[in-house]
Amino acid sequence: MTNADGDVVRYSYDEVGNLVKTVDPKKNATADPDDFTSTTEYDLSHRPVSATDAAGNSSSTEYDADGLAVSSTDPDGNTSYVSYDERGAQVETKSPHESVGGVVQYRTTKVEYDEVGNTTRVVTPRGVATANADDFASRTEYDALNRPVKQFQPYDPADARYNDANVYTETVYDAAGRVTETSMPASEGQTVRNESVTEYLDNGWIKNTTDPWDISTAYEYDDLGAQTARTLTSADGSANRTMTWAYFPDGKLASKADDGVPVGSHSVVTDNNTTGLTAVTGTWSTFWTAPDQQGTNHRQHAAVTGTTTDKFTWTLDAPADGTYSLAVTYPQVTGAATDAKFELTHGADGDGHGGEVTEPAYTVNQTTGAGAWNTVGEVELVKGDPVTVTLKPSATGKVVADAVRLVRDNSADTDTEARAFAYSYDVNGNLTGINDTSSGARADDYQVTYTGLNQVASVKEALAGQDTATTSYTYDVLGQPVTVAHPDQRSEYTYDLGLDARGPLTSLSVDDLNDSAAAKVTRYTYDALGRQATQTKANGNVVTNGFFLDGALKSLREEKSGGALVSSHAYTYDNNGNKATDVASKANADVAGAYLNSTTTYSYDPVDRLSQSVKTGNGAKTETYVHDDNANVISQSVGGTATTYAYDRNRLLTATADGATASYRYDPFGRQTSVVSAGLTISRTTYDGFDHIATSEKLNESGGMDSTTYAYDPLDRTASKTAGGETTDYTYLGLSSEVLGEEVAGELTKSYQYSPWGQRLSQITHQADPENGVEAGESAYYGYNAHTDVETLTDDAGNTVATYGYTAYGNADESEYTGIDKAEPGTPEDAEPYNAYRYNSKRWDASSGTYDMGFRDYAPGLNRFTTRDMYNGALADMGLGTNPYTSNRYAFGAGNPISMIEVDGHLPCAEGIVDICGEATPLQAALGGSDDTTEQPEGDADASNEVSPSGSEDLKISDWCSAVPNESFSENCMGGLRTANGWLEEIPYWNLPVEHQWGKGAAAAFNIGYGSFMAYRGVKILELTPGCAMVAGGAGAAACVLLGGKDVVFGGLRAVRGGKQAYEVFLDRGECYDNCTAGGQLKQAVFNIAPKAISRPPEDSDDLIGFLIDTGGGLSF
């Protein structure tokens, strides 16, 4: 096959048509085409039994008499095993973890089924290792139609707390088999379950969803089913936000718009059940079952004649100056009072605005208006005014205390916030232009050009007709990026077939064009399985990685060029892949020759949530955590400080430590707005119309509020931050979310350099800071632990200049801080750090006390996010609610911050042997060979890993993938990262070597070995039948996968359950050739995908087969 540039790929077949060898253009360019070529051998049933890569590393697969793969051996000789029952269903898998004294230790998982083949029980390796048959196992119950209706959490009968076998998530279906309700366990201390409801149009498309707090989302579609509108409505119905999309006749995205939440719209609601913001005097009975009540319950007080001191009090807050209407709501109650009196008081202890004022009481007839918000009056309030509303008993009947609301009148506010994008394409479907008419756009026009192979050649940015920046790209014959040139930075990539015949990245040169120093060169080596063995930093320090047999990181060690230790970690894991121990050492930046040595052991509850962390050595301390059934931390003890937490429907209400209680307020969109303690508002957060933090305020020692403001561009990236009168502006690499530089008063202060998979390599400080000993042009090189936390900075000589450490949930562990960022006495809490990137590699904002995790901000002091999670696509958003790792839309890391690594504010990934999502973190990408996309911008739900033609995710960049919008993503990725209909898809591979198939480097050839899976935009959709197939050369080889519980086959293997039934599988724009189904098998099924660099993405990550492969370049799979 010859492409438009004349590059040739050759395929060789055996006598019966099995593909045995592929020679790509680089191999064709050598004197001997066999120099760097992989081969595949088959048995007499045309099943691949061995694959040998270009370096001579071989892997093999064995089958039983039914053709089922029973073992898979990787190039290191490690063998995984699978056992089946009489029906061909897997009942046991054994994965090698460690060889001790020549004896291999396996991690074994067992699966049980009912009579019709439904998976009823999965016993995790922790459960297999114990004598009790019931512990550490998840169960699933089905209805008569074989639909899963209850998924039970693992438990341990011997555990003092988690010993209940009946903790479950329930799924309810309608008569058409559609999910209408997902019911999660009740939050700690509550009896009402967390229920989300879904409504459908007659044709089955999702019409509306409502979460446990009554926040609703409505969807509209065009005649072809493409989502055209999404309207998010606040819990009280006072405000909404609508996004719209339009499409060309061929389905590509033509435009999108988002007006955001109206400017000046503020609504403050306090429910009777809001702990910390309500007070009860006297006897107020609680009732739980009224259909029209707000929240989970309401209170009643019987009629009283005469004088009484009984009362019910709600506390509210004025987030901005203005006129507010007071409204009350209550359910229908027999014998309700006709003259319930609500008294509003405001003003005292506000932001210095005067004394307390009590408004005349508002009289409400509670025999009418049940279930509605009844406006009772208006009041002028100033920002910061505390407001209380009091209800007292009546002589005319029962008074009902449910919820009260303040809504600000924003009719006089000018709303200039808006987002609007329009898209254009060439005849090949490549995205060629983006017109941005959004408010605050730094560039209003993006023009993309392409090579003859549909590879992105350049991305030009312009504002008001004037070009502002152009980023250009070049490639080798395999489509691998060779150079990426930006006006401020130039990167060059080298791939050495002579060093490693698989052709991975061996060196990366990054030249900061604002710095006179030479380009920074980073070099990499790999082991036989394609994992990163070493990284040599630009300052000469060498990072060496060691692995367990299953790919889990065993050791991580950084040394100076002369061998002196910078840092090291030795890890062990429990049977479920959770980190068990971490023996750590790192050089003390304050004392030459001294080291911070520690050993930390971890333990977990039966659901694999962290229960205890015990650290000995430097900074010795014990951390204990107790989680409820939804992964909320309900109590913790960190270093001897105990804290308890209270929740309502998974939303944090109060935190109590050392006798002091903080109460947390939220707006009706579920965003945390303020924290109140001892009657004072100690912090306040306001948001713009797109869910970004606009202002963060903190109480200072003088009783005032210190304010930090933020501005954002239309791509949801932080454009500037102003604190203490100083404004920092942020610049980005093209359309990416990678911060390229920081400027203060127009002067460049810092710049950053990155690896192709998004790992931050170094920082250059361009302005001198004599107080801290920082010279202009000084470089600092990042060092990471296995969790991707920044733990060291080293200088050009390789010496340690800063160290960092963290508690389990990411708070600063001051005992691990040395060097330039160590807090000295008198240092303000919100002082700008030398290095802002810390926990999880994310940016720390000292002003707000949060980490920018991408889509949302994370508060390590609260162990949770401050806003609720959501996606724009209907099915993708439903998936968040049903995924056990994300169903609690505020929890962090599913209760396991040690094993889980947050990717983008939506999804955590497991660090151990079992990866629960397809997105790899930068370190995982480097170690496992899977490329990571860049950090996600915060704010808008569009800034997500969602597969949806909405928001800024279609404008996100990956350096490795040509730094172009995902929506316009070309075939320019490799090493586990490929496109799915123009969208990024991560494919982790752990066991077998990868041959980067020709086809623009799009990782058309990838390993499908034991324990791997494919994931679509972070959603695990194709779980591979262990060991059933390998892909060699990237074309024509079989890939056996498990999709929806049925074995589907690509390219030659049996279809379902050992060949008893065949499925024809058609891919998007693909055609099935050469007798696709014959004799119950798929024979030589070739899916010929036409070259196509860009196309409209599917609406949601739930679109499975139709959008799996879009690699282009005439590639056949």
Pick the closest to residue 681 from 713, 703, 710 (CA basis).
Answer: 703
Query: What is the residue type of 804?
Result: Y
Q: How does residue 881 score in pLDDT terms, banded at 50, 70 and 90?
A: confident
State residue 947's pLDDT score.
24
State residue 1019's pLDDT score.
27
Three-state helix/strand/coil letters over 664-720: EEECCCCCEEEEEECCEEEEEEEECCCCCEEEEEEECCCCCEEEEEEEECCCCCEEE
How much of the chain is helix, strand and coil, in % rounded to 5? Answer: 5, 45, 50
Q: d(Cα 28, Cα 54) in Å, to the nearest integer?
A: 13
| 3-state SS, residue 1088 | strand
Asked if residue 454 lies in contact with residue 1093, where contact means CB atoms within 8 angstroms, the answer is yes
Q: Which helix (H) or strand (E) holds 928?
A: helix 922-928
Q: Which residue has the tokens 């077998």?
A: 992
Q: Which residue has the tokens 């050791």?
A: 555
**Other Cβ atoms closer than 10 A to 128:** 18
Find the range with the poorest average confidence among 355-359, 716-720, 769-773: 769-773
What secondary structure letter does DSSP report for 769? B
Q: Is the pLDDT of residue 1023 over 60?
A: no
Asked if residue 40 lies in contact with residue 1032, where contact means CB atoms within 8 angstroms, the answer is yes
Segment 902-931 mean pLDDT: 49
Asked if residue 1009 lies in contact with residue 72, where contact means CB atoms within 8 angstroms, the answer is yes
Segment 505-517 mean pLDDT: 91
Q: d(Cα 575, Cα 1045) in Å, to the nearest integer?
A: 25
Q: Is the pLDDT of residue 284 over 90?
A: yes
What secondary structure letter does DSSP report for 264? T
Find the range with the poorest average confidence among 466-470, 478-482, 487-491, 573-577: 478-482
Q: How does residue 480 score in pLDDT terms, banded at 50, 70 and 90?
A: confident
Q: d(Cα 174, Cα 181) in Å, to the nearest integer?
A: 9
The percent of residues above 90 in pLDDT, for the chain, comes to 66
Q: d(Cα 59, Cα 57) in Å, to the nearest integer?
A: 7
Tell me which of 1026 and 458 has the higher pLDDT.
458
Cα 117 to its chain centre, rounded Å, is 33
State residue 935's pLDDT score.
31
Q: d(Cα 894, Cα 885) in Å, to the nearest integer?
A: 5
Q: Is the pLDDT of residue 333 over 70?
A: yes
Task: Give the E-state strand segments of 690-817 in sequence order.
Answer: 693-699, 705-712, 718-723, 726-732, 739-744, 747-754, 760-765, 778-784, 790-794, 800-803
Each residue of 113-138: pLDDT tens digit? Answer: 999 999 999 999 999 999 998 999 99
Q: How does residue 768 score in pLDDT terms, banded at 50, 70 and 90?
A: confident
Q: How does residue 965 score in pLDDT terms, banded at 50, 70 and 90?
A: very low
| 3-state SS, residue 106 | strand
State residue 1054's pLDDT score.
28
State how far the alpha carbon of 666 is from the alpha carbons of 47, 674, 685, in Å.
58, 7, 10
Q: Is the pLDDT of residue 638 over 50?
A: yes
Q: Is the pLDDT of residue 469 over 50?
A: yes
Mean per-residue pLDDT of the chain? 81
State residue 910's pLDDT score.
61
Q: Is the pLDDT of residue 457 over 90?
A: yes
Each residue of 779-796: pLDDT tens digit? Answer: 999 999 999 999 999 999
Q: Which residues pair with 871 in a beta bridge?
A: none
State residue 1108's pLDDT score.
26
Task: Give the E-state strand segments of 373-502 in sequence order.
Answer: 374-381, 386-391, 399-401, 403-408, 419-425, 431-436, 445-450, 456-463, 466-475, 481-486, 489-495
State residue 478's pLDDT score.
83
Q: Length of the chain, please?
A: 1117
- What's the whole-model pTM score? 0.83
State residue 37's pLDDT score.
78
Segment 211-215 mean pLDDT: 95
What secondary structure letter does DSSP report for 907? -
Pick the closest to residue 1003 from 478, 505, 453, 475 (CA basis).
Answer: 478
Query: What is the residue type of 274?
Result: T
Segment 504-520 mean pLDDT: 91
Q: d(Cα 558, Cα 568) in Å, to the nearest integer?
A: 6
**Other Cβ atoms closer than 10 A to 180:** 15
Segment 170-197 mean pLDDT: 95
Q: d(Cα 1060, Cα 706) in Å, to the nearest integer?
A: 70
Q: Which helix (H) or strand (E) holds 266?
A: none
Task: Give the E-state strand segments of 489-640 in sequence order.
Answer: 489-495, 505-512, 520-526, 532-536, 542-547, 553-559, 565-573, 579-587, 595-604, 610-617, 621-627, 633-638
Q: How does residue 1117 score in pLDDT terms, banded at 50, 70 and 90?
A: very low
Task: Put residue 681 in one of left, alpha, beta given phi > 0 → left and psi -120 to 50 → alpha.
Answer: beta
Q: d(Cα 259, Cα 1041) in Å, to the nearest integer?
A: 42
* CA geometry: angle 498, 503, 507, nearest 5 deg: 85
Tell me which of 530 and 369 has the higher pLDDT.
369
Three-state helix/strand/coil letters over 998-1049: CCCCCCCCCCCCCCCEEEECCEEEEEECCCCCCCCCCCCCCEEEEECCEEEE
Characterize 625-662 residue by residue with b for buried, 16 or more Cβ atoms within 10 angstroms of its Cβ, and e for exposed: bbbbbbbbbbebbbeeeebbbbbbbbbbbbbbeeeeeb
Q: d(Cα 807, Cα 811) in Å, to the nearest integer?
A: 5
- Domain 267-408 classification at class level: mainly beta
State residue 619's pLDDT score.
97
Q: How many C-alpha atoms does 259 have within 13 Å on its Cβ side?
A: 13
State residue 911's pLDDT score.
53
Q: What is the largest CA-CA distance in the chain?
A: 105
Q: d(Cα 505, Cα 960) in Å, to the nearest integer?
A: 10
* All residues at 6 or more sequence positions from 413 whose CB lies less than 8 Å from its CB, including other chains: 262, 263, 264
Find the range with the poorest average confidence among 24-38, 39-53, 115-129: 24-38
Q: Is the pLDDT of residue 645 over 60?
A: yes
Three-state helix/strand/coil letters over 196-226: EEEEECCCCCEEEEECCCCCEEEEEECCCCC
Q: Per the structure block, which two tokens stand in for 782? A: 């990042």
State residue 1001's pLDDT score.
21
Each residue of 390-400: pLDDT tens digit? Answer: 999 999 999 99
Q: Is the pLDDT of residue 934 over 80?
A: no
Torsion of CA 886, 889, 891, 892, to 10 degrees: 60
Q: Is the pLDDT of residue 1063 over 50?
A: no
Q: Is the pLDDT of residue 1051 over 70?
A: no
State residue 1039's pLDDT score.
30
Tell me which of 935 and 84 has the higher pLDDT.
84
120-123 long-range Cβ contacts below 8 angstroms, 24+ apart: none
Three-state helix/strand/coil letters over 548-571: CCCCCEEEEEEECCCCCEEEEEEE
State residue 525's pLDDT score.
94
Q: Is the pLDDT of residue 1029 over 60?
A: no
Each residue of 742-757: pLDDT tens digit? Answer: 999 999 999 999 998 8
Q: Is the pLDDT of residue 509 over 80?
A: yes
Q: Which residues pair with 677 in a beta bridge?
A: 662, 680
Domain boundaries, the chain: 1-87+969-1117, 267-408, 488-902
Q: Is the pLDDT of residue 1011 over 60?
A: no
Q: Is the pLDDT of residue 682 over 60?
A: yes
Segment 456-461 mean pLDDT: 94
| 3-state SS, residue 880 | helix
Each residue of 687-745: pLDDT tens digit? Answer: 999 999 999 999 988 888 999 999 998 888 999 999 988 999 999 887 788 899 999 99
Each residue of 144-153: pLDDT tens digit? Answer: 999 999 999 9
State residue 349's pLDDT score.
55
Each residue of 845-856: pLDDT tens digit? Answer: 999 999 999 889
How far does the chain reach from its first CA to its final CA, in angstroms? 14
Q: Which residues pair with 434 in a beta bridge?
A: 423, 446
Q: Residue 253 burial by CB count (10 A; 0-12/13-18/19+): exposed, middle or buried?
A: buried
State residue 761's pLDDT score.
97
State residue 842's pLDDT score.
96
Q: Which residues pair with 570 in a beta bridge?
A: 555, 583
State residue 777's pLDDT score.
86
State how far the alpha carbon of 845 is from the alpha carbons of 47, 414, 835, 849, 854, in Å.
55, 30, 11, 6, 13
* CA geometry: angle 1019, 1022, 1027, nearest 5 deg: 135
Q: How does residue 494 score in pLDDT terms, banded at 50, 70 and 90?
A: very high
Segment 74-82 mean pLDDT: 95
State residue 701's pLDDT score.
86
Tell me which of 214 and 995 has the higher pLDDT.
214
DSSP secondary structure, 79-92, as one string: EEEEEE-TTS-EEE
* CA geometry: angle 680, 682, 684, nearest 5 deg: 115
Q: Is the pLDDT of residue 836 over 50?
A: yes
State residue 498's pLDDT score.
60
Q: Is the pLDDT of residue 1030 over 70?
A: no
Q: Is the pLDDT of residue 589 over 60?
A: yes
Q: Is the pLDDT of residue 915 over 80?
A: no
Q: Is the pLDDT of residue 60 over 50?
A: yes
Q: Is the pLDDT of residue 350 over 60?
A: no
Asked if residue 194 lies in contact with residue 183, where contact means CB atoms within 8 angstroms, the answer is yes
Segment 905-922 mean pLDDT: 50
